[in-house]
Amino acid sequence: MTIKELFTPLPVLKSDRLEIRPLTHLDALDLYKMVHDTEVYRFVPKNLFELKYNDVNMTIAHLYTECLEKSLILGVFEHGKFCGLVECYGYDEANQKISIGFRSLKEFWGKGVVTETVKLIVDFLKREKKIETITCSTLSQNVHAEQVLMNAGFVCVVRGFPENWGYEQLLPTNKWIR
């Protein structure tokens, strides 16, 4: 099974506070605001799909075709307001393993939105998709992401692992598992 097959149909997850759903062209301005915020993208890989095209409408047009060949990216909304993205990638069917990533607008930092997002996606992956192992990588200096992962029940299993995130040199990353 491919990641595309795993996520057909595209999921929509809801809590009292959040909705996690596919992006549409109506979300283009919000996505534009996020991808052009250097603070949001200072602790993430340079090769993320939402950064591939200069036009966010083109990005959205390819999210659930081209991008879905390797990863699923969904929008996160708090009471209808765009907060950020959550991503599932690196699906390994044989080991029932997948990796997740997340990024959010600065105005939602420290408000529990990302932690709730991670908990929702982890619960969905484990309950609905029967994924046994969920991993996440963070840059070592990203203490906020570490707190999110700890609050969501992840355990750091490797610290300072040099990894290529698309920068000029390898960067020290921490590996998390749940």
Would residue 49 count as lying in a domain? yes
Would residue 156 count as lying in a domain? no
Closest of 27, 38, 85, 37 to residue 61, by C-alpha: 27
Would residue 174 count as lying in a domain? no
Ranges of residues in the chain with a pLDDT under 70 are none
Number of structural domains (the chain) is 1
* Tens digit of each residue's pLDDT (9 = 90 or more) over 18-34: 999 999 999 999 999 99
Structure tokens at 104: 């959010």
Report how far residue 118's alpha carbon sits from residue 15's, in angstroms, rounded to the nearest whole number: 12
Would residue 121 count as lying in a domain? yes
- What domain range is 40 assigned to? 3-134
As separate numbers, helices (DSSP H) first and strands (DSSP E) second, the chain gives 5, 8
Would residue 169 count as lying in a domain? no
Would residue 149 count as lying in a domain? no
Structure tokens at 163: 């990894």
Reported as half-sphere exposure (CB side, CA atoms, 13 A), residue 77 has a value of 19
Which pLDDT belongs to residue 79? 97
With H, G, I as helix, E, B as strand and everything else as coil, classify residue 28.
helix
CATH of the domain at 31: 3.40.630.30
- Residue 174 neighbours by CB under 8 Å, 6+ apart: 137, 138, 139, 140, 146, 156, 158, 159, 160, 161
| Tokens 């921490």 found at | 174
* Tens digit of each residue's pLDDT (9 = 90 or more) over 72-95: 999 999 999 999 999 999 999 999
Would residue 140 count as lying in a domain? no
- Residue 161 neighbours by CB under 8 Å, 6+ apart: 172, 173, 174, 175
Would residue 148 count as lying in a domain? no
* 101-105, Cβ contacts within 8 angstroms, sequence gap of 24 or more: 101/44, 101/48, 101/136, 101/137, 102/76, 102/145, 102/148, 103/34, 103/40, 103/41, 103/44, 103/48, 104/34, 104/40, 104/76, 105/30, 105/33, 105/34, 105/37, 105/40
Which pLDDT belongs to residue 24? 98
Which pLDDT belongs to residue 74? 98
Report how far residue 47's alpha carbon sits from residue 34's, in angstroms, rounded to the nearest whole number: 15
